[in-house]
Amino acid sequence: MEATSDGLWDWDLVSGEIYWSPRAFEMSGYRPYEFPMNFSVWTSMVHPNDREVIIPEMRDKLSRGEAFRVDFRFRMRDGGWRWFMARGKPVAWDGNGKATRMVGTHLDIDETRKTEEKLKTMLAEKELLLKELNHRTKNNMQVIISMLRLQALQPKCAPLAFVFKEVENKIQAMALVHRRLYQSHDLSKIDLASYIQELTELTLTSLAICQGKVNLLLDMQPVSVTIDVAIPCGLMINELMTNSLKHAFPGERRGTVKVTLKREKGETLALVYEDDGIGVDEGFDFRNQPTLGLQTVLILGEHQLQGKVEFASPPGFRCCLVFRETVYQARV
């Protein structure tokens, strides 16, 4: 036993005396048997902040005759503090079943704890940086949106007003993700369902071409996804909804847009967009159209999200995206 690199101890719970091996003294910077060790002495050498935590824990374990493990800072011979871990278990009991003796080890974990603290500090700094980055990105996008709005007000740009609005909504879809990340405790993920809800309501209000004519239905399960998944999904929904509001409900026709998000088997998600508008002609080839909108949806769904996109019409219009939520791993 003495050959181990750990310090060893043997604690008489009746007298309070503790045998410390020479190695246990040396690990703390003291000469072997430099002073008699007992529970009162040991307690006085534990950092006050740690003492408040570990002593009640140890007493609780002792009262139940259970093994324990505690981490604490111990006062070194030079007056400094160093992290140690003590592990012990009862090995003798009296006639009433009360533990009378414990043995255990005294292990130096200072480098491990300092590394952990350093990593915690680095992570906190990274989270702060990401939070600031999301805030700045969102603000920069809002500046671009403001510039687009000002440009759209110019008389010569009047014919392109709707184009400006479409571009603005695409930027808004991305800015919304960064705003939600900035407000979130988890900087790596956002709830896709609540994001899509806010995005669709924003798109419906922003375009204002079907005001009062289109009812929005949402049926979505809570799913947390990374920014790399949220943004393509948001852009797809924005593209599909813009298309519906422009073409699906001509004249006084009223209708419904429905978005469904559900978890299928394992890590597979299904995002379904539907409208009950006029649809397209029978035999319409969705995959071979020169229009930018459908091509954007296919690129986002099948290339960026590595999923499967399926279209259906008539009646109305339907687009279903099936993909794995872990197509991108969390970065934080």
Contact of 269 with 327, CB cutoff 8 Å:
no
**Residues β-bridged to residue 20:** 9
Q: What integer pLDDT is reported at residue 308 of this predicted model?
A: 92
What confidence tens digit (pLDDT) does each residue in 203-213 have? 777 766 666 78
Q: What integer pLDDT is reported at residue 73 of this predicted model?
A: 94
What confidence tens digit (pLDDT) does each residue in 36-58 have? 999 999 999 999 999 999 999 98
Q: Does residue 159 have a cis bond before it (omega within 30 degrees)?
A: no
- Which residues of the chain fall below pLDDT 50? 1-3, 330-332
Q: What integer pLDDT is reported at residue 20 of this predicted model?
A: 92
CATH fit for domain 7-108, picks 3.30.450.20, 3.30.420.10, 3.30.565.10, 3.40.50.460: 3.30.450.20
Q: What integer pLDDT is reported at residue 9 of this predicted model?
A: 93
What are the residue boundaries of the structural domains of the chain, listed by start? 7-108, 115-324
| pTM more than 0.95 | no
CA dist 111 and 265 (Å) reads 44
Taking CA atoms, 101 is separated from 62, 70, 243, 279, in Å, by: 10, 18, 78, 82
CATH fit for domain 115-324, picks 3.30.565.10, 3.30.160.100, 3.60.15.10, 3.20.20.105: 3.30.565.10
Query: How many Å from the N-terminal Cα to the C-terminal Cα in the chain?
Result: 43
Contact of 192 with 157, CB cutoff 8 Å:
no
CA dist 106 and 87 (Å) reads 7
Q: What integer pLDDT is reported at residue 167 of this predicted model?
A: 67
